[in-house]
Amino acid sequence: MKDERRPAVGYVRMSTDQQQDSPTRQRQDIEALAQRQGFRIIRCYEDHGQTGTESSKRREFQKLLGDTKAGTFQAVLLSEQSRMSREDIFDAMQHWRLFRDAGVSIITCQRGELKFDNLGGVITAIVDQYGAREESVKLAQRVASGLRLKAKQGQQIGGMVFGYDREVIDDTGRVVKRVHFRERFRKPITWRTRLVPSEDAEAGAAVKWAFAAVRKGKTVGAVVRELQARKLLTVYGNPLDYNSTFGLQVNPTHAGTLRSGVDSRAKFCTLATDG
């Protein structure tokens, strides 16, 4: 028996890899929406661990935009409008226009169908889009503020550093474990860590020697060859090469200076530039 329901596609997006339950919930919402609206889902496009503020970097969303012109579906279904985009209103409008011109409806569990054929519908879509954008901005500010506070408390806010171990501190403030810079350890979410000079005497001596050698005029290449002769490994367990050795020598952590966010690609707010 022929399925008379109208063809539609779903779009699922989660912004971080920590939101493991989000895609499942979104798919369930979309399936329920399709049942209520009389659609059959012919495909679901999914971008995992992708921000909604930069659609050009979302591979599945770009595929969705391209497939829209083929005329094989009549609607794109979403759990909420922000799953499609948290971009600036004028950027989001470009997507809306593409769907409208292709005769494809945008339908969300949150608001129902986005209506672009009347002023009220357009205003509602714009207000919701503005709210989604502002939520991303405020989240970025909260993240930067939290990182700044952690830095002031002496907590680790970056990755592993050659020659520095991590002290793992529990909820009571007690140091429960010391983790070597090449060791991987997943701490409970409420615990924290701080960097301390490593107990690895060989690594510590190598760092001191490398800085002293450069001060005496040795090139980075000469330092690399010496460290390779000592068979030292990076924090990831790989042989030291030019890039990793140069990175070691320009890392301000070795001079007791905390720096974070300088090379960040954050869109709205970074620890380095905010406050």
Task: Kindly report the average pLDDT of the chain as a whole number.
Answer: 83
The average pLDDT across 86-93 equals 92
Rounded to whole angstroms, what are the CA distances from 50 to 11, 194, 228?
A: 13, 29, 38
Tell me the whole-structure pTM to 2 decimals. 0.58
pLDDT of residue 265: 47
The confidence score (pLDDT) of residue 135 equals 82
Domain ranges in the chain are: 6-140, 164-255
What's at 97, amino acid-wise?
R
DSSP type of residue 2:
-
Q: Is the pLDDT of residue 63 over 90?
A: yes
Return the structure tokens found at 90. 């004028």
Tell me how far apart the 2 most distant CA atoms of the chain are, in Å. 83
What per-residue confidence (pLDDT) applies to 154? Answer: 55
Inform me whether the pLDDT recorded for 258 exceeds 80. no
- How would CATH label the architecture of 6-140? 3-Layer(aba) Sandwich (3.40)
pLDDT above 50 (res 110): yes
pLDDT of residue 207: 85
**What is the per-residue pLDDT across 3-44, written as a single tens digit (0 to 9) for each?**
789 999 999 998 865 555 688 999 999 999 999 999 999 999
What does the pLDDT read at residue 210? 87
Task: Tell me the percentage of the chain whose pLDDT exceeds 90.
Answer: 35
End-to-end CA distance of the chain: 64
Report d(CA 111, CA 171) in Å as an integer.
42
